[in-house]
Copies of this chain bind each other. A is one copy, B any other.
């Protein structure tokens, strides 16, 4: 069962010859979630063989161009591909107004339903709840309203011990009951505990996306215990003042969040064009939080 992240862009606002604006694709059991969508995201999707039709949900952290300008061309592409499946887009206001105006301006008539869900508020909120995953938004601290997203896989069914099926002569209903964690109660009153015929399911995986943000005290609590924490590291400690001024983070800030949150692993991104290599940023964060990696475009990270 897949729970993995593919990185499509690692640059901050100024793209470089080998770094594109922010875009992540999270694969949860073959449902794809697109997270941020900077310019050129659809080209990166082509390059890394992300299947366009598998994406039904797009999560936008904020309305700065390097996180959003890929949305308009992607909508055009879906329209040209004769998409019929509804598309859900989660973003802070005024995303819906902007998109509506854009479609009017360019005389684009979508052949599918685009549902724009406005993300808002000053606390954590559940924005999506489906069979496999729950998604939460939480506020970040940037120059304009900005949100992070937390993806939590739902507890999977318990794993059947195959031999027990014949041993107890279990029916399909009984198997389903045990896999969902219920004890089997037979007509004669006999009880077969689910722990007798099934094993603990895989621990559900989780991923948190902390887009553009300054360091703030409450952040680690939002992403507490997450398996993989993506956190922007636009700058290194050498540009601490600039980070504060522009409401961005340094690699050290990101590591501090990972450490306090007790994250499993930290992935850095959104690198300023001034850093040709990201090795120093990675090193800086590792000195505080060893399980750190600087994100690389096209790389896929297995989670949990």
A15 and B69 within 8 A (CB): no
Looking across the interface, which residue of chain B has its beta carbon closest to that of A68?
A: B106
A46 and B17 within 8 A (CB): yes
A88 to chain B, nearest CB (A): 22
Interface footprint category on A: 20 to 34
**Per-position 1/0 for A95-116, Cβ under 8 A of B:** 0001001000111000000000
Q: A13 within 8 Å of B by Cβ?
A: yes
Residues of B within 8 Å of A144, CB to CB, are 107
B73 and A65 within 8 A (CB): yes
Residue from A16, A101, A106 with most neighbouring chain B CB atoms (10 Å): A106
Residues of B within 8 Å of A13, CB to CB, are 76-77, 80
A80-129 with Cβ < 8 A to chain B: 80-81, 94, 98, 101, 105-107
B69 and A42 within 8 A (CB): no
Q: A275 within 8 Å of B by Cβ?
A: no
Q: How far is the CA of A106 from the CA of B80 in the complex (A)?
A: 26
Q: How far is the CA of A14 from the CA of B105 in the complex (A)?
A: 20
Q: How far is the CA of A70 from the CA of B73 in the complex (A)?
A: 10
Residues of B within 8 Å of A20, CB to CB, are 43
Among the listed B17, B70, B101, which residue makes an inter-chain contact with A105, where contact means beta carbons less than 8 Å apart?
B101
Q: A63 within 8 Å of B by Cβ?
A: yes
Q: With contacts A98-B105, A105-B98 known, is A42 near B63, CB below 8 A? A: no
Residues of B within 8 Å of A15, CB to CB, are 42-43, 46, 77
Q: How far is the CA of A98 from the CA of B108 in the complex (A)?
A: 14
Q: How far is the CA of A201 from the CA of B277 in the complex (A)?
A: 48
Among the listed B47, B49, B66, B76, which residue makes an inter-chain contact with A65, where contact means beta carbons less than 8 Å apart?
B76
B73 and A14 within 8 A (CB): no
**Per-position 1/0 for A14-26, Cβ under 8 A of B:** 1111001000000
Q: With contacts A39-B42, A42-B39, A65-B76 known, is A47 near B106, CB below 8 A? A: no
Besides A15-B77, A65-B76, 17 other A-B contacts (C-beta < 8 A): A13-B76, A14-B77, A17-B43, A20-B43, A39-B39, A39-B40, A39-B42, A40-B40, A63-B106, A65-B72, A65-B73, A66-B73, A69-B69, A69-B72, A69-B73, A98-B105, A98-B106
